[in-house]
Amino acid sequence: MTTHFLSKLCCPFDKSDLHLQVFTEKEPDLIHEGLLACPTCNRLYPIIHGVPIMIPDNYREAQLEQPFFVKWESQLSLEAKEKAT
C-alpha cells in the first residue's frame, strides 16, 4: 500500500483525514506496517502486511490486533498507547 494511496483514506465513521505513521516499508513509499489514527474519534487502524484494517468496531478482533500493538508499542504516540491498551 503506497503512502500516496493511504494519505487519501479517511475515517469510515466521521470522514476525518487520518494521520499516517509508517513503521516499516517494503521498498521506498510502499508501506508494510503502519498505523492510521483518526484525530476526531481517536480510532486506530493498523496497517498489517500492507493492508489497512478499517472495519466496523464489532468486527474487529482485538486478539488479532494485539500482537501488532505489542510489537510497535515503542513507536506509538502516547494517545495511541492509551487507546490500544
Residues that bind Zn ion (CB under 5 A): 11, 13-14, 16, 38, 40-41
Q: Which is nearer to Zn ion, 38 or 76 (CB)?
A: 38
On the CB side of 78, CA atoms within 13 Å amount to: 0
CB nearer to Zn ion: give 3 or 16: 16
Q: Identify which of residues 41 and 70 has a Cβ nearer to Zn ion in the complex.
A: 41
What DSSP line would sit under the chain, residue for residue? Answer: -BHHHHTT-B-TTT-PBPEEEEEEEEETTEEEEEEEE-TTT--EEEEETTEE----GGG--HHHHHHHHHHTGGGS-HHHHHHH-
